Structure 1
Amino acid sequence: MRAVTWNVWWRFGGAWREREPAIADVLKGLDPDVVGLVETWSGEGITQPQLLADDLADHHAAFVPTSLPPAPDPPEHSSQAGVEVGLGLISRWPILTTEVHDLPHGQRPGPPPAALLATLDHPRGPLHVIVSCIEWEPAYAADQLAQSEALAALAADPRLDGDLPVLLLGDLNADVSQPDLAPLLAVLTDTWSLAGGDPRAVTLSSALLEAPLEATKQIDRRIDHILARPGRKGAQLTARRAFLAGTEAVNGRHPSDHFAVVVDLDV
């Protein structure tokens, strides 16, 4: 099973239309089974996950709005007006159910950020996948830790037990060495490390023209993750390969300000 997580940078940066074909081409080249999208969009009667799923052919999609990151208010340009920021899921298998779980946000004002929990109709049984993005700003560090704890509790929920692993895909705004992820790593495995992925890999690179250099806690770190736990106690996870995608510029512009994380898992 090929799993992908990618922060696709919403309609930020002023050239989202130019980036869209490159995002689609990267995903088509990967031929993924499950994709978690962060900073994806919904507007004008369509969602970006659905467009990308249609482009992959025979894939299914889901979208839920979230408050992280907040949409610009006022919009930076007209194509952002009325367009939601959200979380997306693309699946080779039908999406049986979806749930939206609010995450704690005692520090940041406004509506709560979300986690999308979906159950997929995998041939070997229900496959549970969580997609989320958690806080990044140092001023809201307590929120980030509380959100990490909430995601860990959701991923460890016994009702998700089964024959297949439970997956968490998303931009978690910390690398595995930072304490923000400790609650998650207590119950989930970093599949990048499990598969022998390059320990020097970064998903938010200062080498990109679009790099958010102000994000000093995250820049030049691997902050986008595919975490997993076995579906049953005593079962083992196996990951064969881990690599980054979307690392090449197209016509001088990268598809996103993040690189995609790709992990091949045995189920």
Structure 2
Amino acid sequence: MRLVSWNIHWGCGKDGRIRMHAVIDVLRKLNPDVICLQEVAANHPELEGSASANQFRQLAGAFGGYFAIEHPTSEIYKNPVPRLFGNMLLSKFRITQAQRYLLPWPADPDHPPGMPRGLLEVVLDTPAGKLRVLTTHLEYYSPVQRLAQVRQLRALHVEAFERAQQFQPDPKLEAPFQLGFRPATAILCGDFNMLPNSPEYNELLAPFDGHVLRFVDTWRAAHPDLPRAPTTGLHGFAWPDKADCYDYFFVTEDLAPRIANSEVQSETAASDHQPIVLDLS
């Protein structure tokens, strides 16, 4: 099973031009089973390069053999067509249910206001069994907001774990209540806008009370003796000023033995972030 997570920067390269075909080409070459994307845009001509096309539709059309779920956390109405910006997930495996969450956005007068942030969760029916895949893009400017969002990620994971211990599907219930089993086993990925060993990073990976499955950083599990590969700051983009890591795959500890590889694809310059890849046996 191969998963890719990528902040595509609405397909805008370092020359300020949008080339969604380059993003699509990279993804096709990686040939993932599951694709998790951040910074997908629609009807945003004011963004660099003029992201006026509906990229959610472009990507869904380019990967017609995948199930596609959108989660534009920013939805602004300045004309009859909404301006959308957010996350997207595409899967070769059947998606049995989806949940969309808005994450906390507390006021922080010391930093720019930022934008709404969210978490997209799906349950996949894979050959190895059901599991949850979650993708997110956390706050960049405000550590206060980012830490609140990390805490909400943990709270939602605890909720899912506890429900998994007691919930069984009941076909006698009315249709909207038949959400099915939501497993405790999970993969969490995205652009977290946090550095390794930052307070937010350490809190996300901290043990839970009781028997709740903790999260494991797949890079550290796969490469315990190697320096972490940067996911940003390559190919001459104006941001950031040095190469560093903002993008991660985390898995619940029961999946750790299945980590075959965790890597960063550093070659492409189609975005100011690099795609990250997780292979599970």
The yes-or-no answer on 1:193 pairing with 2:193 is no
Which residues in structure 2 correspond to 1:29-108 (within 5 Å)? 29-43=29-43, 48-67=55-74, 82-107=82-107
Runs of 5+ in structure 1 lacking a partner?
A: 75-80
User: SS at 2:71's partner residue?
Assistant: strand
In the other structure, the counterpart of 2:176 is none
In the other structure, the counterpart of 1:141 is 143
In the other structure, the counterpart of 1:166 is 186
In 2: Cα distance, 1:176 partner to 1:47 partner: 34
Residues 1:22 and 1:164: Cα distance change in structure 2 (over 3 Å):
farther
Residues 1:155 and 1:47: Cα distance change in structure 2 (over 3 Å):
farther
* Cα deviation 1:233-267 (Å, max 9, x = unaligned): xx75321112222x335xxxx2100001101112x
Match of 2:118 among 114, 117, 120: 114
Query: RMSD over aligned Cα, in angstroms?
Result: 3.0
In 1: Cα distance, 2:85 partner to 2:119 partner: 13
Between 172-181 and 143-152, report the one with greater CA deviation: 172-181
* Cα deviation 1:147-204 (Å, max 9, x = unaligned): 0111122233313577783011110011222112122112310011112285231001
Residues 1:46 and 1:116: Cα distance change in structure 2 (over 3 Å):
farther
The yes-or-no answer on 1:220 pairing with 2:248 is no
User: SS at 1:66's partner residue?
Assistant: strand
Aligned length: 240
The one-letter code of the counterpart of 1:25 is: D
TM-score, normalised to structure 2, is: 0.74
In 1: Cα distance, 2:127 partner to 2:251 partner: 19
1:121 to partner: Cα distance: 2.3
Structure 1 stretches of 4+ with a deviation exceeding 4 A read: 43-47, 108-111, 160-164
TM-score, normalised to structure 1, is: 0.78
* Cα deviation 1:207-227 (Å, max 9, x = unaligned): 4332313xx6xx522110111
In the other structure, the counterpart of 1:77 is none
Residues 1:123 and 1:200: Cα distance change in structure 2 (over 3 Å):
closer
The one-letter code of the counterpart of 2:272 is: D
Q: Contact 1:173/1:223 (CA < 8 Å) preserved in 2?
A: yes
In the other structure, the counterpart of 2:152 is 150
The one-letter code of the counterpart of 1:210 is: F
Larger Rg: 2
